[in-house]
Amino acid sequence: MRGKLTRGWQHRSGFYNRPFHRRAGIGPPNVMTKYVFVTGGVVSSLGKGIASASLAALLESRGLRVTLIKLDPYLNVDPGTMSPFQHGEVFVTDDGAETDLDLGHYERFITTRMKRSNNFTTGQIYKSVLEKERRGDYLGKTVQVIPHVTNEIQTFIQRGAEGVDVAIAEIGGTVGDIESLPFLEAARQMSLRLGPNNAAFVHLTYVPYIAAAGELKTKPTQHTVQKLREIGIQPDALLCRADRVIPDEEREKISLFTNVPLWGVISMPDVDTIYKVPRVLHEQGLDGLICDKLRLHTPPANLKRWDDLVYEVEHPQGEVRIAMVGKYVDLSDSYKSLNEALRHAGLKNHVRVAITYIDSETLDDDKVAERLGGFDAILVPGGFGKRGVEGKIRAARYAREQRVPYLGICLGMQVATIEFARHVAGLEGANSTEFDPHTPHPVIALIDEWLDADGTLQKRDANTDLGGTMRLGAQSADVLPGTLAYQIYGPVVTERHRHRYEANTQYLDRLRQAGLVISALTQREQLTEIVELPQDVHPWFMGVQFHPEFKSTPWDGHPLFNAYIAAALRHQQQRAPQTTPEVASA
């Protein structure tokens, strides 16, 4: 009997020691990489991205190399053509991928930089499978969700996990949705094929408080875990979102009905800053639980930098007020990275940044001064399409004429250029061909050729597909000495781009003659990257064609935003009424 047991164990052990790709029928594995799959239940928008990034930060603080991968269940190839109202902002990586906004959280929480392989969608998976089918890669087989689609998902996960100790895969959507079932099945298969102690499951759920009953209800959490277990996934940890700390009695009940040990039922209450979440999870032992499950032997977590950050957040020495004049102001997620970049810059300047969102469609000539007059600085963010553009132009004009610090990002740079052309350079009717194809002065126009960061020549025209065809990713430009941009960046600026239209090179000399400073140009095409006003004309006025917000972190902020908030603080101090000292009576 003992011999049979030994041979049986050796057989199973041999199975787990066989190469992963031979067991799975997919590509070779990433040697020694462990996986954590993060799922969500009950409702969306609970904060899976923040929870995943926080767990990654905890593991990184233990000395592990960590990356995160976002799996999105929608059929779009990427979010690049989706409205911000549908999906929030589109986050752009250095290699030019248009990705989910959660990748912005990932980069702000850990040191690993995201790339194209860190985000993929159902659309990309099916596109890849169908291309293989057309090439005959499946050798005449019937192509099915299992195994072909689920194997492709696993291949994509492995691709994003190269070169790290732990890869955290966040599965978008809610357990029970039809769309996310192939992803969940792929995760189940992958955990089985990896073998014991190589994969863990963390499930984010919701525990609502019913005011009429005066109690928290655990039934939705019981049901969402039941759905997971039906498809063969047993969570190792539950992150229970609620508007308050979940008492031990409710945690014990959740543990009993979900088959998750009590120490794996973790309360995740609302907090006033997302930067408190790593500490909240660490104090309840989430990182220790995951390390135990994955047999990772690490030093203790060191959260000093997070504690220092939270202290800075909670102890500002002042406040600056920023007017953000945009088109997508009804959904703050549309400007998620931008909001965070401003707050990071506030931390570097020891002030709280209060952002007021102003719909550019509603900014009329007769109300500009009334609506913008009380702010310390004005910011015009990016956007696409004609709607609300004239309101943005009015905001740029007000900032220029009233000497209010101004930062224009992407479209914000373009509207500042249009405004200057119309009202300073005398180019009546100047516009972008995006908004007026027949403008007499197309100071902004469609770029038809440029060189990518990898040296590839890209060509476009008005009939080119919209998806994935903009100038995307990190690109460099030379900065003009003696300018505000040079003070901030030095001789070279390298930032991430996402735009289709550019400042028309045919008008640059006329704009320069009128006083506009073109302070950064790309080396090959001479495309405008930064415009500004001379500092003897305006204390701080700058427009940038790129998106600097994508590279801001809570630890260092970003040099451009740090300088912008510092300028807003100076403007506030200059506007402050001078108090007359009281004269003591005789």
What tens digit of pLDDT does each residue of 65-84 get?
A: 999 999 999 999 888 788 77
In the prediction, which pLDDT does 454 show? Answer: 56
Say whether pLDDT at 20 is over 50.
no
3-state secondary structure of 326: strand
Q: Residues of the chain with pLDDT > 90: what percent?
A: 76
Q: Which of 45-49, 414-418, 439-443: highest mean pLDDT?
A: 414-418
Say whether pLDDT at 152 is over 50.
yes
In the prediction, which pLDDT does 7 show? Answer: 34
Contacts of 576 (CB under 8 A, 6+ apart): none
CATH of domain 317-574: 3.40.50.880
Delimit the CATH 3.40.50.880 region(s) of the chain. 317-574
Rounded mean pLDDT of 309-336? 91
Q: What one-character-per-residue DSSP string does 28-63 give?
A: PP-TT-EEEEEEE-SSS-S-HHHHHHHHHHHHHHTT
Say whether pLDDT at 508 is over 60.
yes
pLDDT category at 333 given cuts 50, 70, 90 is: confident
Q: What is the pLDDT of residues 431-479, one digit of tens each?
A: 999 999 999 999 998 876 444 555 554 555 655 555 446 788 899 999 9
- What is d(CA 516, CA 533) in angstroms, rounded to the nearest whole number? 6
Which of these, 246, 336, 328, lies nearest to 45 by C-alpha position? 336
Q: If you average pLDDT over every residue of the chain, what do you get?
A: 89
In the prediction, which pLDDT does 583 show? Answer: 36
Delimit the CATH 3.40.50.300 region(s) of the chain. 26-307
In the prediction, which pLDDT does 456 show? Answer: 56
Q: Which of 7-21, 129-143, 283-297, 448-462: highest mean pLDDT?
A: 283-297
In the prediction, which pLDDT does 464 show? Answer: 57
Say whether pLDDT at 196 is over 60.
yes
> What DSSP state is assigned to residue 504?
-
Say whether pLDDT at 380 is over 70.
yes
In the prediction, which pLDDT does 371 show? Answer: 93
Q: What is the pLDDT of residues 107-116, one digit of tens each?
A: 999 999 999 9
Nearest 5°: phi and psi at 367?
Answer: -120, 5
The fold adopted by the segment(s) 26-307 is: Rossmann fold (3.40.50)
- What is d(CA 414, CA 545) in angstroms, rounded to the nearest whole number? 8
In the prediction, which pLDDT does 485 show? Answer: 97
Judged by average pLDDT, the poorest of 189-203, 303-317, 484-498, 572-586 is 572-586
The one-letter amino acid code at 472 reads L
Of 242 and 25, more confident: 242
Q: E strands along 439-583, which residues?
A: 442-446, 449-451, 457-459, 471-479, 492-499, 501-503, 517-521, 528-532, 541-544
Does the pTM exceed 0.85? yes
Rounded mean pLDDT of 44-62? 95
In the prediction, which pLDDT does 31 show? Answer: 53
Catalytic residue numbers, as ranges: 410, 547, 549
Omega before residue 147 within 30° of 0, cis: yes
